[in-house]
């Protein structure tokens, strides 16, 4: 199995690295930690089309491979911008695969996943999210925000305590 990056993947990695190096400097990251989100860096990420990286072109996405997403994740892990990059890429892919409209995500809306079932839970990036996708029994539901202020946490993340359940949001799949 050849895991060498293609020319396009090298260009993607370089372009994202350069963009983040300009906008998401260490000082900028430290300044953004209190809010748990950096709107300026998020805009750069969105302008590059990366929230829809794993969505088919026919659905308005970029249509990139899993390896392309790995390249983006590697850069995000290296540069550590204060944005919910991987959360949104995954949530957008799930929403698109379930037939939900993701046009707002291409314009900067933030969708995240609740990673386990439960009525009340702490969800990463929820305090900056526009919607949360969650499993409830045999259904998948989505609830629109806002979800309140960030809960205090040692990671300076935009986490929020959110109440979910069968009467919250709308069902999008069964």
Q: How far apart are CA 63 and CA 66, in angstroms?
A: 10
Q: In this predicted structure, what is the pLDDT of residue 1?
A: 81
Each residue of 102-136: pLDDT tens digit?
Answer: 999 999 999 999 998 888 999 999 999 999 999 99
Q: Please name the residues in contact with 70: beta carbons below 8 A apart, sequence gap of 6 or more.
A: none
For the segment 55-59, the average pLDDT, to the nearest whole number, is: 94
User: With bands split at pLDDT 50, 70 and 90, how would you rate the model's confidence at 145?
Assistant: very high
- CB 67, CB 27: distance < 8 Å: no
Q: In this predicted structure, what is the pLDDT of residue 118?
A: 84
């Amino acid at each position: 199995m050849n895991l060498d990056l293609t020319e396009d993947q090298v260009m993607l990695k370089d372009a994202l690295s350069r963009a983040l190096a300009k906008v998401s400097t260490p000082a900028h990251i430290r300044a953004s930690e209190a809010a748990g989100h950096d709107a300026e860096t998020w805009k750069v990420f969105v302008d590059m089309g990366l929230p829809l990286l794993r969505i088919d072109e026919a659905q308005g996405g970029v249509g990139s491979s899993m390896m392309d997403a790995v390249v983006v994740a590697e850069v995000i892990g290296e540069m550590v911008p204060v944005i919910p990059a991987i959360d949104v890429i995954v949530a957008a892919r799930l929403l698109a695969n379930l037939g939900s409209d993701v046009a707002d995500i291409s314009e900067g809306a933030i969708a995240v996943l609740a990673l386990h079932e439960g009525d009340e839970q702490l969800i990463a990036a929820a305090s900056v999210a526009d919607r949360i996708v969650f499993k409830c029994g045999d259904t998948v539901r989505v609830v629109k925000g806002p979800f309140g202020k960030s809960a205090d946490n040692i990671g300076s993340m935009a986490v929020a305590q959110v109440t979910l359940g069968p009467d919250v949001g709308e069902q999008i799949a069964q």
